[in-house]
Structures are given as C-alpha cells and as structure tokens.
Chain A
Amino acid sequence: MITPLISVRNLHKWYSGVHALKGINLDVRPREVCGLVGDNGAGKSTLIKILAGVHRPDQGQIRIDGQLVDISSPKSAMRLGIETIYQDNSMVPTMSICRNLFVGREPLLFSIGGLGLIDHRRMREEAIQAVANVDLHLRSADALLSELSGGQRQGVAIARAMHFKSRVLILDEPTNHLSVKETTKVLTFVRMLPEQGVTGLLISHNLQHVFQSCDRVVVMARGEIVLDKAIEETSIDEISESL
C-alpha cells in the first residue's frame, strides 16, 4: 500500500463552544483528486484551514508523506507544498495581478533579516509566465484584481498555486459566483491536476462537479466524516442520501 500524501488522525477543533471537527480521520493518496462535500457548517472549511495553517487543531495528528508535521502557520503549509484557494479570500482586490501573485513570497534583490527590495523585473516576468502557464489571457500584469471577473480571479489564484509548485492544491468552493463557462474551465483544470503531479482536494456543494472531476468523494456532516468512497463505487444518489 502506498503511503498517503496527507494523513489526518483524530482531528478535533473547537471554536469557543462549537465542536466544529469531531475526530476526523482522512487519507489522501498522492495524485488523486479528493472531493469533500457536506452541508453548510459541516466543518469542511475548518478542516482545510487547519491543513493550510490558518487555524490550529485542538487535538489530533497530521502526517505528510508519513512524517508527523506541525502546520503552525500558512508559511509552514506552503513550505510543505500545500497551496490553498479559498472561497473568496485568496486575493487582494486593491493590488495588481503581479503583486498578488507574490504577496508574502516576493523575489528580492537583497534582504536583511527577511526585508528587502523587490526585484520588480523578475516579478513581472514570472507573473506573465505563471499566468500564461495556466492558459489565462490577461491584458496586463499591472491590472488590479478588482478589474477582473470572478473566473479570471480564480485563474490568477490557480496560477499562483501552480507557480509555487504546489504538491497539494486545496480548492474551497472555487466555482462559487462563476459563470458556466468559467466553471467548466476551473473543473477541467482540477481534473488535470494529477497529470501535473499535483494532488487535489476539492470542496464543492455541487455533486455533479465532484463526480466530473474527482477520484474519490468524502462526505462530512456535523464535524464528522460519514462516507468515504471511490467515485466508481458510489453514485450521486447515495451521496445525496448521506448528506
């Protein structure tokens, strides 16, 4: 049996009284796309925020490649190769595409104690490359994020994740507020992740989307995992019932 890329054991999270995660056990194999579904408030976002280093778990272990890890901050998640695209807070609307791509990871000309001047030329070149690599066509890397459509913004978020060579890409309801065409584009991209050597974790409330682009589906309800099956072994009906 292959070692799971991500292995979560007995994960608990409380938010001042709310028991949001009640002992989650989950294995994600390398190069699979895992769909995570469940009602609002089921704990999906909480689970992925822990994996992304935004929240700390109150109890439980996380292993990456079999190694016990402590994901103490977004930076440490990124260092482990975990990139996350959030529901609606991945990007800074008041900043340019170029600056957005590199927030927190700017290429520097020099640095003293972590602070330094940005290598603007390199940043721009890499931004143009990163955007082109995900087949996104944008007028200019200097355009502000607020000028882009929802789909273009997700495109930039995806470009960022791919540029930093993520091993695991987590997408939290990435197709919310997108047009049909843009949704198809994002889903096609998710489907292609394994080919690029990337493992995917897709949260969606649309079962069609999950069945289109995932290898496996995990259902959460009230902070617990209630179903975990390969796509071939289940059906939309069975999943709907478990929700």
Chain B
Amino acid sequence: MIEFGETLRKLIRIYLEKPELAGVALLVLLTLLFQLRSNGVFLSAGNLRGILGLLPEAGLVTIGVAILMICGEFDLSVGSTFALMPVSIALMTNSGVPFMLAMLLGLGIAAVVGFVNGFLTLTFNIPSFITTLGMLFIVRSLTVVLTGGFPPLLSSELPVGVFTQFVGPGGVLRASFLWFAGIALIAWAVLSGSNLGNWIQATGGFFDAAAALGVPVWRVKMTCFVICSTLAGFAGTIQVFRLGSPLPSIGDGLELQAVAAAVIGGTALTGGIGTVLGAIVGALLIRFIDNGLVLSQVDANWFKFAVGGLTILAVVANSWLRQTARRIN
C-alpha cells in the first residue's frame, strides 16, 4: 500500500512537471486502437499523408492559442483571422501585388488583428474572451465584405508549391509540414528555452508576482496576442494554398477546436501551464480521432462527441490530479 502511494506520488509529480504526457499516452493508445480496428490502414503511407497534410494547419493555430493561454489570455478570433489573411493575399495578388509582398502584408494584417485584440483587452482591462469574441464577428464580416461573397480566384501562377508540394521519401509529407515543424521548433525553443518563455509562463501563472519581479507583462501579453493571430493567419493561408480556393468561410469554428486541442494537450485554462509539444499532441489527437473514426467505420458524426468528451476529461483529470498532488504533499 505504501509502495502504491509512493508510485502514485511519483507519477503525479511527473505529470505536474510534464502536463503533456497524458496526451502523449492517449495518442499512443489511440494509434494502437485505430491500427487494429482499421486492419492496418491507419498507419499506412497513404493515410498518414492525409493526416500529416492537415496537421500543420490545425497545429499552427493550436500552438498560437496555447501560447496565448499560457500567458493568461484567450483568442476566439483565430478562426476569422484564418480566413482574412489568405483572402487578403488573394485579393492583393489579383490586383498585381507581387507574391512575396502580398505574403508579408498578409502577415502584417494578421498581426494587426492580434495587436488590436491585445490593445483593447489590456487598455480597457476587459476579458480577452469578450474582446476576441467581438473580433471573431468583425474580422469574419470584413472577410466576407472584402470578397463580395464570392471567393476570389487564386492565380495558378503563384509559387504556392513552397507550401503545398509533396516532399520526402514516398511523398508522405507536404512542404507545409516542414514549415510547421520549423515554426514548432522555434516556438518550443522560445517557450521553454528563452527568457521570453519564462516571462510568458510567469505572466500567466501569477500576473502580480511577474509584474513585481520586473517582467514587462504588458509587452509579453501583446507579443502573445500578435504571435497567436499571425500563426492563425499563416495557417489559413497554407490551407487555402492546399485547397486552391480562398473561401471566406474557412476556419469557421476553428477557434473552439484549437482551445480544445490546447486543453487536451495539457494547457491550463487558468494560464501558466502548457507546452508546445502538448499543443501539437492535442491537435494531432483531434486529427487522429477524425481520421480513425472514419477508418473504423464509425458514424463520422461521433467526431464532435469524442472531441468534446476528451476536452472535459482532460480538464477533469487535470484538476483532480492537481488537487491530489496538493493533498499527498
């Protein structure tokens, strides 16, 4: 009994220091399950190509949302920014702006959305939940108005291959995956290895203490708002390049899926806790469930049920584990 208590304590401690581990374990479990249920199709090259082709888009949004949540704020407008940036790029290139310049301007537009989110939230001291809920509608509306309701054409001359072409052995990966991997690596280095990352965790973990220790909390939060929006816009752009059509409606509902993915990956709603790896695992889990259910010939309408259940489970498990950790200490 004592031994069991000791093991439990050790496990909980590991979990507290690495909140993404539960997600990793679940990922392994689901992989095995789907692999069996689909008679080996799940891990086949063709199927992996599909999953890994979609992952960068959801993954980048989740990384941004998770970083923002870690610093103690929310962004519900990511789904709208996801559409605004590619639509702006399509409109700009159609009116003769060179591709590279249009990309930079598009990133700038996404960054401005984040800046406005942060500026309003911090200046008027209102919950970012509200500010960004407003921006969700404003940015979506702007996107639809800009296009006049019809998706603009995406010129086939554009060098979108740097994001969409298949690369690597057997063409399992798209180039977008390399962009995603590179950005994820940088995000990981920043969050867990840099002083800025330390400030982000401190700001979300306990705002007053961080401020009293001289952390530039205002600038830290602004930076996270801008990172989050910019990643969302970039992710939407990759998706549009893959699909070939800048629909003004893309990314609808993505904000909540990204929050769910971040939470499933161990990010705390209350801020201060979370990792980049966790965000990726969360996004991957959702992709796995989406794909695995189809392969296992389960009615696809169970997808949202599974994501919802997992989200609640993750939060319940987190709060239970933290309470238990406090009790046994």
Residues of A within 8 A of B (CB): 52-54, 73-75, 78, 84, 86, 89-96, 99, 102-106, 108, 111, 114-118, 120, 142-144, 146-147
Residue from the list A89, A94, A115 in contact with B272, Cβ < 8 A: A94
CB-CB under 8 A for A89 and B206, given A78-B214, A94-B268, A118-B193: yes
Q: A89, B201: Cβ atoms under 8 Å?
A: no
Q: What 0/1 readout, one digit per residue, does chain B (49-67) give for beta carbons within 8 Å of chain A?
A: 0000000000000000000
By a CB distance below 8 angstroms, the chain A residues around B201 are 92, 94-95, 99
Question: Count of B residues near A, CB < 8 Å?
Answer: 31
The 9 closest A-B CB pairs, nearest first, are A94-B272, A94-B205, A92-B205, A75-B214, A74-B214, A106-B195, A104-B214, A104-B213, A89-B208
By a CB distance below 8 angstroms, the chain A residues around B199 are 103-104
B174 → chain A, closest Cβ, in Å?
A: 30
By a CB distance below 8 angstroms, the chain B residues around A115 are 194-196
CB-CB under 8 A for A54 and B210, given A93-B205, A104-B199: no
Classify the interface of chain B: helix, strand, loop or mixed. helix
CB-CB under 8 A for A92 and B210, given A99-B198, A117-B194, A146-B326: yes
By a CB distance below 8 angstroms, the chain B residues around A120 are 193
Q: Does B83 contact A (CB under 8 A)?
A: no
Q: A144, B16: Cβ atoms under 8 Å?
A: yes
Q: What 0/1 readout, one digit per residue, does chain B (90-117) give for beta carbons within 8 Å of chain A?
A: 0000000000000000000000000000
Q: A147, B329: Cβ atoms under 8 Å?
A: yes
Q: Does B325 contact A (CB under 8 A)?
A: yes
Q: What 0/1 readout, one digit per residue, does chain B (198-237) give for beta carbons within 8 Å of chain A?
A: 1101101110111111110000000000000000000000
By a CB distance below 8 angstroms, the chain A residues around B273 are 94
**In the complex the two chains form, what is the Cα distance from A162 to B198 in whole Å?**
21
B222 → chain A, closest Cβ, in Å?
A: 14
Count of A-B contacts judged by CB separation below 8 Å: 96
Residue from the list A89, A143, A144, A147 in contact with B212, Cβ < 8 A: A89
A81 → chain B, closest Cβ, in Å?
A: 14
Q: What would 15 more interface pairs be, CB under 8 Å, given A54-B212, A105-B213?
A: A52-B212, A78-B214, A86-B209, A90-B212, A91-B209, A92-B205, A93-B272, A95-B201, A104-B213, A105-B214, A115-B195, A117-B193, A118-B194, A143-B13, A147-B326
CB-CB under 8 A for A118 and B198, given A75-B214, A95-B272, A144-B16: yes
**In the complex the two chains form, what is the Cα distance from A6 to B233 in whole Å?**
52
Q: A95, B193: Cβ atoms under 8 Å?
A: no
| Nearest chain B residue, comparing its CB with the CB of A53 | B214
Q: A94, B206: Cβ atoms under 8 Å?
A: yes
By a CB distance below 8 angstroms, the chain B residues around A116 are 194-195
B319 → chain A, closest Cβ, in Å?
A: 13
**In the complex the two chains form, what is the Cα distance from A120 to B194 in whole Å?**
10
Q: What 0/1 readout, one digit per residue, does chain B (13-57) give for beta carbons within 8 Å of chain A?
A: 100110000000000000000000000000000000000000000
By a CB distance below 8 angstroms, the chain B residues around A95 are 198, 201-202, 205, 272
CB-CB under 8 A for A90 and B209, given A95-B201, A115-B194, A117-B189: yes
Q: A147, B211: Cβ atoms under 8 Å?
A: no
**In the complex the two chains form, what is the Cα distance from A147 to B209 in whole Å?**
17
